[in-house]
């Protein structure tokens, strides 16, 4: 059966003060369209049965998500006792899915991306599912680049051989975030896609590769697998996570896996990774200003103002991000 796993482990840092240690990006409404976690969930309507949507997160965020989406089933939260990056989080989800459905195919989605062309999004994921559901292939979703972005990793398609579907290619290499010159070459080549952090595979396929490539985590997940549904489950999970080493799925598995496919994603995608992106995604006035809340502007250009309760009056400035929030967390931005 087809499952979706939403990765909601991120901690609030880049969007301070709107995001906070206890209110990360996926739980806030950055662009005025609703929280990103809710958008990510509703984006799966028509693709994945809502009973088969899982969320990997920590206990604190799970409680907050439950408030936002009360109908979400408690037993579909998979709780990371401590954050250990994406490979252990995905592995933990795979163990749980595989336990409840040995034939599970899992779509892995970050909780904090923005996607607007939903039919194309569903089409791409369906292509990936078709490729992996009866194989050991790992599939990743690449995004057709539109600019020489240096903030993303890239995936090079192997366009020389046999395509797996019209829009699915074998992966030649994964490339780290490039410098601008390299990013331009990537863009011109037509062979490189942005690495979106979205994946599709059988739960048993990714567990086998974790055993092969991250053997300590392989042992850990076997131990958790044995404890699921027993009174020891929580303690075992905590112990192996606390003693385990953090590693990303890209570095730990994808770059070393023997058979990886990439879907050439044709939907509109934005990782909303910076205040600049937030400003770009909001509606603008004639002077390039994007505002929310109780805001009055005079002689102001290319400025993003996110108000909350207070009146914010701005005059004679340009190229600023201005954010007002309750100071309920008393945390300073991560440096």
CB 151, min distance to a second copy, A: 17
Size of the site for a second copy (CB under 8 A): 12
Structure tokens at 24: 């990360």
CB 112, min distance to a second copy, A: 22
Which three-class secondary structure state does DSSP give residue 143?
A: strand
Selection from 26, 11, 7, 8 nearest residue 94 by Cα: 7
DSSP 258: S
CA 116 – CA 311 distance, rounded (Å): 31
CB 328, min distance to a second copy, A: 11
**Which of residues 228 and 317 has its CB atom nearest to a second copy in the complex?**
317
230 binds a second copy (CB under 8 A): no
CA 236 – CA 16 distance, rounded (Å): 34
What's the helix, strand, coil split of the chain in %, to 5?
A: 35, 25, 40
334 binds a second copy (CB under 8 A): no
CB 25, min distance to a second copy, A: 17
Name residues contacting a second copy, limited to 312-331 (CB under 8 A): 313, 317, 320, 327, 330
CA 169 – CA 131 distance, rounded (Å): 10
CB 286, min distance to a second copy, A: 20
CA 199 – CA 98 distance, rounded (Å): 16
Name residues contacting a second copy, limited to 9-28 (CB under 8 A): 16-17
At 195, which helix (H) or strand (E)?
strand 192-202
In this structure, are residues 169 and 144 in contact, taking their beta carbons and an 8 Å threshold?
no
**Which of residues 205 and 325 has its CB atom nearest to a second copy in the complex?**
325
**Which of residues 234 and 296 has its CB atom nearest to a second copy in the complex?**
296
Selection from 156, 142, 153, 116 nearest residue 270 by Cα: 116
296 binds a second copy (CB under 8 A): yes
175 binds a second copy (CB under 8 A): no
Name residues contacting a second copy, limited to 106-125 (CB under 8 A): none
**Which of residues 187 and 322 has its CB atom nearest to a second copy in the complex?**
322
Indicate if the alpha-carbon torsion angle 246, 89, 21, 324 is positive or negative: positive
Structure tokens at 138: 């790992």
Q: Stretches 35-43, 256-264, 285-293, 310-318: which one binds a second copy (CB under 8 A)?
A: 310-318
Q: Stretches 140-148, 199-207, 227-235, 305-313: which one binds a second copy (CB under 8 A)?
A: 305-313
Contact characters 240-279, a second copy, x per CB under 8 A: ----------------------------------------
CA 144 – CA 269 distance, rounded (Å): 9
Q: Which residue has the tokens 């250990």?
A: 84
Contact residues for a second copy, defined by CB under 8 A: 16-17, 296, 310-311, 313, 317, 320, 327, 330, 332-333
């Amino acid at each position: 059966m087809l499952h979706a796993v939403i990765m909601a482990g991120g901690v609030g840092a880049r969007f301070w003060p709107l995001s906070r240690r206890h209110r990360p990006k996926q739980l806030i409404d950055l662009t005025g369209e609703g929280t990103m976690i809710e958008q990510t969930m509703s984006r799966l309507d028509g693709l994945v049965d809502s009973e088969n949507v899982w969320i990997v997160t920590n206990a604190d965020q799970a409680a907050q998500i439950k408030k936002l989406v009360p109908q979400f089933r408690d037993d579909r939260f998979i709780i990371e006792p401590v954050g250990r990056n994406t490979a252990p989080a995905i592995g933990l989800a795979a163990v749980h899915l595989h336990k409840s459905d040995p034939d599970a195919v899992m779509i892995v989605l970050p909780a904090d991306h923005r996607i607007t062309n939903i039919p194309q999004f569903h089409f791409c994921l369906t292509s990936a599912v078709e490729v992996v559901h009866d194989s050991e292939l790992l599939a990743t979703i690449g995004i057709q680049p539109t600019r020489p972005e240096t903030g993303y990793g890239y995936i090079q398609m192997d366009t020389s051989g046999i395509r797996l579907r019209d829009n699915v290619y074998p992966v030649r290499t994964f490339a780290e975030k490039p410098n601008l010159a390299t990013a331009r070459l990537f863009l011109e080549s037509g062979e490189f896609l942005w690495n979106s952090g979205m994946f599709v595979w059988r739960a048993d396929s990714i567990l086998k590769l974790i055993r092969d490539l991250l053997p300590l985590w392989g042992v850990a997940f076997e131990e958790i697998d044995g404890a699921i549904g027993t009174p020891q489950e929580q303690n075992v999970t905590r112990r192996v996570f606390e003693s385990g080493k953090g590693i990303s799925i890209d570095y730990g598995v994808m770059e070393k896996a023997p058979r990886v496919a990439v879907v050439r994603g044709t939907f509109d995608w934005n990782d909303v990774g910076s205040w600049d992106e937030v400003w770009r995604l909001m509606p603008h006035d004639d002077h390039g200003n994007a505002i929310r809340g109780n805001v009055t502007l005079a002689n102001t250009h290319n400025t993003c103002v996110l108000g909350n309760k207070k009146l914010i009056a701005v005059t004679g400035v340009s190229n600023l991000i201005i954010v007002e929030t309750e100071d309920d967390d008393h945390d300073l931005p991560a440096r």
